[in-house]
């Protein structure tokens, strides 16, 4: 079942929580609503669920207007951040609750309910805890029970409000993988709210980035990360290194730092955004860039080595004024960079914002060496 959000507006007093939100959520896909606190993502989820009413606009399920439909008639499952399990009920009773609460004409027989509960307990791998109470469960177990309860009535749509926000990092990762497998098995349309960029990019088929009640960008995770369409999306979505300065004669300059921007004709203020994997480190300047940095920290944990560096003789954007560059363990072993060493950033691909432009220009220095040019993200 697809979801269409058409021109939704919502105010709370003088606060505009949602400002003319329109988007399409494809049937059978897992969509993330991603944004900082106060961006409107939970309000939008609650309006889709029918737990909150919009001031204007429409919500459609597979083309049918459900804007005025009561939450109980929308055939959705909803999972809250803090589980919302009934403390006085066992695990089995909590899962059965949604079925027991159906109107008499729709309610299955007791034997059918017990069978469904047993199936769900097997699915969440907790059949041995059927008679336990929520207080006797771990956070991850509670969230599995909450998920099982939400799909007990076999809803067409599953909505999740920061479902892993109260869990520790390892449990979150395990549950993300479990939810993705569950979604792939049942193919219901799922929408989940998160402020965790890694979670959104890893779990979803489509990401909706929100800010101050507006949609900033809607895209597949790979496209979203590779081609952010605004400064906000760049700043919010993962680590980014930024140098601001003046563009003159095909070069962006600030202090003793400069980098060529081939093909860019505009003059004036500009900001160059570089992801950590779009930069390599050298022991001396290169032909297209002079970006000196002093190593502050080296972190060897993980699949790559993370090097933190502070600009030498110029300033980076952001309060920390620290750059982050990822290098392979092989590079680390051959170069052995240590705290205090001077290195030079060598941009491979960059994203240039000039003046008040809303969209960046992508600069590829490797391509420019062969045929200097830039291409505008469309």
> What are 242's two structure tokens?
């930024």
CB 150 within 8 A of CB 98: yes
Please name the residue that has the structure tokens 């941009």: 347
Helix H, strand E, coil C: the string for the chain is: CCEEEEEEEEEECCEEEEEEEEEEECCCCEEEEECCCCCCHHHHHHHHHCCCCCCEEEEEECCEECCCCCHHHCCEEEECCCCCCCCCCCHHHHHHHHHHCCCCCCCCCHHHHHHHHHHHHHHCCCHHHCCCCHHHCCHHHHHHHHHHHHCCCCCCEEEEECCCCCCCHHHHHHHHHHHHHHHHHHCCEEEEEECCHHHHHHHCCEEEEEECCEEEEEECHHHHHHCCCCHHHHHHCCCCEEEEEEEECCEEEECCEEEECCCCCCCEEEEEEECHHHEEEECCCECCEECEEEEEEEECCCCCEEEEEEECCCCCCCCCCCEEEEECHHHHHHHCCCCCCEEEEEECEEEEEECCCCCCEEEEHHHHHHCCCEEECC
Of 175-179, 273-277, 298-302, give the lowest mean pLDDT range. Answer: 175-179
Q: Give the residue-averaged pLDDT of 37-53.
A: 94
Q: What is the pLDDT of residue 377?
A: 38
CA 21-22-23 angle, to 5 degrees, is 125
Whether pLDDT at 345 is above 70: yes
- For the ranges 8-22, 48-62, 176-190, 322-336, which has the lowest average pLDDT? 176-190
Shortest CA distance to 30 belongs to which of 199, 169, 232? 199
Please state, in angstroms and rounded to a whole number, the distance separating the CA atoms of residues 368 and 363: 8
pLDDT value of residue 368: 57
Reported as a single tens digit per residue, the pLDDT across 113-171 is: 999 999 999 988 899 999 999 999 988 888 889 888 988 888 889 999 988 776 777 77
Q: Are 227 and 238 in contact (CB under 8 A)?
A: no
- Quick one: pLDDT band at residue 299, thresholds 50, 70, 90? very high
Position 374 pLDDT exceeds 70: no
Which pLDDT tens digit goes with each residue over 238-266? 788 999 999 988 899 999 999 999 877 77
> What is the residue extent of each domain of the chain?
3-226, 239-376
The CATH number given to 3-226 is 3.40.50.300
Residue 54 has pLDDT above 60, yes or no: yes
Q: What are phi and psi of 73, to 5 degrees?
A: -100, 5
Average pLDDT, the chain: 88
- φ, ψ dihedrals at 74, nearest 5°: -95, -5
Q: What digits encode the pLDDT tens for the residues 354-367?
A: 877 667 888 888 76
pLDDT at position 106, please?
85
Given a cut of 50, is residue 45 above it in pLDDT?
yes
Alpha carbon distance 37, 141 (integer Å): 26
Over residues 299-303, the mean pLDDT reads 88
Which one, of 112, 82, 70, 96, lies nearest residue 152 by Cα? Answer: 96
Sheet containing 206-211: which strands, arranged edge to edge? 76-79, 157-161, 189-194, 30-34, 206-211, 214-219
Rounded CA separation 274/323 (Å): 10
pLDDT of 263 = 76
Backbone angles phi, psi at 59, to 5 degrees: -120, 125
Residue 239 neighbours by CB distance under 10 Å: 14
pLDDT at 369: 53
Superfamily of domain covering 239-376: Nucleic acid-binding proteins (2.40.50.140)
Burial code (b: 16+ CB inside 10 Å, e: under 16) for 329-341 equals eebeeebebeeeb
Percent of the chain with pLDDT over 90: 57
Q: Is the pLDDT of residue 347 over 60?
A: yes
Contact 6, 60 (CB under 8 A): yes
Mean of pLDDT values over 92-98: 92
């Amino acid at each position: 079942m697809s979801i269409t959000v058409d021109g939704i507006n919502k105010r709370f007093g003088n606060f505009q929580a949602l400002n003319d939100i329109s988007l399409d959520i494809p049937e059978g896909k897992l969509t993330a609503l991603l944004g900082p606190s106060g961006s409107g993502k939970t309000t939008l989820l609650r309006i889709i669920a029918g737990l909150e009413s919009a001031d204007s606009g429409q919500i459609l399920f597979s083309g049918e207007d459900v804007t005025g439909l009561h939450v109980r008639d929308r055939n959705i499952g909803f999972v809250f951040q803090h589980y919302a399990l009934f403390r006085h009920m066992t695990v089995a009773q909590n899962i059965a609750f949604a079925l027991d609460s159906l109107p008499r004409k729709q309610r299955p027989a007791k034997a059918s309910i017990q069978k469904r509960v047993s199936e769900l307990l097997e699915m969440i791998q907790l059949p041995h805890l059927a008679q336990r109470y929520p207080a006797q469960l771990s956070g991850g177990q509670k969230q599995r029970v909450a998920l099982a309860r939400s799909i007990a009535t076999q809803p067409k749509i599953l909505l999740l409000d920061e479902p892993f926000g109260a869990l520790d990092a390892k449990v979150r990762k395990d549950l993300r993988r479990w939810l993705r497998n569950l979604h792939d098995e049942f193919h219901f349309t799922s929408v989940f709210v998160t402020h965790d960029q890694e979670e959104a990019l890893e779990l979803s088929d489509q990401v909706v980035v929100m800010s101050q009640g507006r949609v900033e960008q809607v895209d597949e995770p790979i496209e979203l990360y590779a081609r952010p369409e605004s400064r906000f999306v760049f700043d919010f979505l993962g680590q980014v290194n930024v140098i601001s300065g003046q563009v003159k004669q095909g070069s962006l300059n600030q202090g003793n730092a400069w980098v060529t921007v081939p093909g860019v004709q505009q003059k004036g203020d500009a900001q160059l955004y570089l992801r950590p994997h779009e930069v390599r480190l050298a022991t001396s300047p290169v032909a297209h860039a002079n970006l000196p940095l002093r190593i502050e920290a080296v972190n060897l944990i993980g699949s790559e080595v993370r090097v933190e560096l502070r600009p030498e003789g110029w300033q980076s954007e952001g309060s920390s004024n620290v750059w982050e560059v990822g290098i392979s363990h092989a590079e680390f072993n051959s170069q052995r960079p240590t705290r205090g060493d001077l290195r030079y950033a060598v941009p491979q691909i960059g994203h240039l914002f000039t003046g008040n432009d809303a969209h960046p220009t992508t600069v590829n220095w490797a391509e420019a060496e062969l045929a200097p040019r830039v291409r505008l993200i469309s």
